Amino acid sequence: MTDYFYDMDLVVDPLNPANVVANGQVSIYDPADTTGATLLALKDPSGLPLPNPLTSNANGFLPPRIATVPQTMWKSGGFTGYFNSYKGLRDESVAAVTAAQSAANDASTAAAQVVTTATVDGSGALVLTKASGATVNAGNVKGQKGDKGDKGDKGLDGSNVLPTDDAIKQAINDTASATRGALNATYEPKGAAATAAANKRDKVDFRSRFTTAPVLIGHRSGPLIFPEESMEGARATAAAGFVVDVDLGPLSDGTLVCIHDNTVERTMTGIAGNTWDNTKAQWLNGRIKPVIPGGQEAMPYFWDDMLDEMGGRFPIHAELKIGGVHATTLINSIKSRGLEKAVLVSSFQYADCQTLAAAGLMTLYAIGVSAPPQTPAQIKADGIDFVCAGDAAPAQLVTDLKAAGITVLAYTVNTPSAYTAAIGKGFAGVWSDDPWGVTGRYAKTAIQDFRSGYLWPLATRYTGGPATLALDPATPGVKMGYTGTTETSQSAIRMGCFGFGPAVSRVRFKLQFLPGASQTDRWIALWIGQAANSDPFLDSSTPGTVDGYNFLIRRNGNKHIYKRSNGSTAATQLVLHTSTAFVATTTGTSATLDFEVVVDATNVTLRCLTDGTEATVADATYRGTDAMLSFLANSTAVTVSDVRITR
């Protein structure tokens, strides 16, 4: 029985990628078992038995495993989905292609053995000449000669008399003949294997994923969430239902690797200079910088690694940064795997786009915000079916390109309002550094402990003024620092989605005040609401699109709940609870404090679970919508960790 290997798979509702099954029981079945009657036998990569159901981790991933079928069905709660063993399917496809090639070789060998002519030489021998030119003495076919003048005895039949062409043709065309049966038995299975391999490859067709609006592409594999151009980011992007996006540059031997810049210093450590001045060994010794300084680095990889793991499983877009001979490398990497309909390739260089399109690849021409030198008709005539432009490009340019039958996409869109504007302008989709935030696909029940330094699965991105933000390995958590350069030094981190629904919604988190503050009453706040462009809410007297609550915790122990509505220039304090100071000096450190914020149908509450104190007030202003959640540190150093959102 064949073993099929499965990598770590994310358990997510296929109809709503925001629903991740974290720390859940996941039952694995054969897809043919539609009722889920019998659990599949599973093994770990070392061959030891695995319990079924499996348990997903805190991020929703299942462990690597082995099953006896190439596709498995999973069930958890009310969700059902499927996992594919890409390695198993790939091995079967390779085996089928090998069988087809063997069949072709056998046919070629057989053709060379076909007899094309037959003659009898002077000695009476039948000489057969094959298609290869070789000859075979088939034996004497001339009968014994009788006495002269007598009739003589009948000549002997030739022992190797060759059938005529007509006789051979008749035997082949006769479906009941032994000849036809022998040919079928030899060549039909190999032909079927070749056809199956070709059909399996041809079914990898993601063209509609690039043309059906809205197309959502995780620019550089989500660098506001994960290390830029990392495999971790690519996997999460694909699992959420977005198109995976990478940039390609060459190493010294021409090997293509995933990186945006020509030089490596901005995004990597342990390596320096231009990509093309580095060897494979030097590249693999480098590391990709974390999103939060001090967090977990990612390992670099080759473009071929990306195709081997994700090619044919998920749609991929790859931008060629340096073309010429490297365009040929890119073409070969895709065509050799039969992924012409699964990978969209692009370049800002039109000549490279022409080369890629001429090779039969789905090709995108990247331009700026102005019309390119080529007309839409010329672009289309050159086999280029896609164009991407800056989201500020005029609507008329988008209209003209679409009129020529070209799919037009926008880059780079990082706020919901910009996304809405791009779709309204006629773009079929967008690139985004944070496709989760742009589309609101947040996990509404999730845990973020920041241990990895990634902002997944809950946090999405941060912004800051003069203040700093880094991973604090001692807590661990995310440290929102204070530089001391200004009284309004602020740093903020935007988290996930918080539902103002009819049921109770709750946020729990840990915080610790650290040395470094302008005054003892400096604070950290949890904002729940809407802000302009859905950026993290920053404390300000400037009016804007701001609706929600600000739950504020001061170093001196006071707890406030503020409300701020759209158009107001100041927040309204709903309640204040005065308490014993958590830390009484600007250089002191508090204990680690546990807090929770609760919003139900009629009340809002800020509660310190460590000392049992709380601020609560009756207010039902904002209900029935999803709000953004973000932490804001104002002129103080503080660490936030173990954030839990439930509703």
Question: pLDDT for 109-148, tens place per residue?
Answer: 766 677 777 777 777 777 777 777 788 776 776 555 545 5
- Roughly what angle, to the nearest 10 degrees, separates helices 231-239 and 303-310? 30
Residue 620 identity: A
Residues 425 and 402 sit within 8 Å (Cβ to Cβ): no
> Rounded to whole angstroms, how far apart are CA atoms 340 and 358?
12
pLDDT at 535 over 80: no
pLDDT tier, 202 (very low <50, low <70, confident <90, very high otherwise): very low
Percent helix / strand / coil, the chain, rounded to 5: 25, 30, 45
CATH of domain 207-439: 3.20.20.190
Percent of the chain whose predicted confidence (pLDDT) is above 90: 44
Give CA separation, 613 vs 415, 507, 508, 595, 644, in Å. 37, 16, 15, 10, 20
pLDDT at 531 over 80: no
pLDDT at 532 over 60: no
Location of structure tokens 């070629």: 108
Buried b / exposed e over 156-193, threshold 16 CB at 10 Å, is: eebeeeeeeeeeeeeeeeeeeeeeeeeeeeeeeebeeb
Residue 500 identity: F
What's the confidence (pLDDT) of residue 200?
45
What's the confidence (pLDDT) of residue 194?
47
What's the confidence (pLDDT) of residue 292?
79
What's the confidence (pLDDT) of residue 443?
59
Residue bearing the bigger pLDDT, 386 or 163: 386
Q: In the predicted model, what is the mean pLDDT of residues 369-386?
A: 97
Nearest to 346 by CA among 490, 236, 243: 243
What's the confidence (pLDDT) of residue 394?
96
What's the confidence (pLDDT) of residue 178?
77
Three state DSSP letters for 131-197: CCCCEEEEEECCCCCCCCCCCCCCCCCCCCCCCCHHHHHHHHHCCCCHHHHHHHHHHHHHHHHHHHH
What's the confidence (pLDDT) of residue 261?
96
Number of neighbouring beta carbons within 10 Å of residue 132: 12
Question: 210: helix, coil or strand?
Answer: helix
pLDDT tier, 48 (very low <50, low <70, confident <90, very high otherwise): confident
Number of neighbouring beta carbons within 10 Å of residue 246: 26
Give CA separation, 388 vs 6, 42, 187, 314, 408, in Å. 35, 45, 48, 20, 6
Is the CATH code 2.60.120 the one for domain 4-89? Answer: no
Backbone φ and ψ for 597, nearest 5 degrees, come out as -115, 130
What's the confidence (pLDDT) of residue 458?
55
Cβ within 8 Å of residue 604, ≥6 positions away = 549, 551, 561, 574, 597, 598, 616, 617, 619
What's the confidence (pLDDT) of residue 10?
87
pLDDT at 485 over 60: no
What's the confidence (pLDDT) of residue 201?
42
Question: 335: helix, coil or strand?
Answer: helix
Three state DSSP letters for 14-77: CCCCCCECCCCEEEEECCCCCCCCCECCEECCCCCEECCCEECCCCCECCCEEECCCEEEEEEC
> Rounded to whole angstroms, how far apart are CA atoms 172 and 153?
36
Residue bearing the bigger pLDDT, 187 or 84: 84
Fold that domain 446-646 belongs to in CATH:
Jelly Rolls (2.60.120)
Residue bearing the bigger pLDDT, 152 or 219: 219
The tokens of 507 are what?
């946020």
pLDDT at 193 over 80: no
Query: Are 4-89 and 446-646 the same fold in CATH?
Result: no
Domain chopping of the chain, boundaries: 4-89, 164-201, 207-439, 446-646
Backbone φ and ψ for 47, nearest 5 degrees, come out as 100, 0
Number of neighbouring beta carbons within 10 Å of residue 22: 18
Backbone φ and ψ for 12, nearest 5 degrees, come out as -140, 145
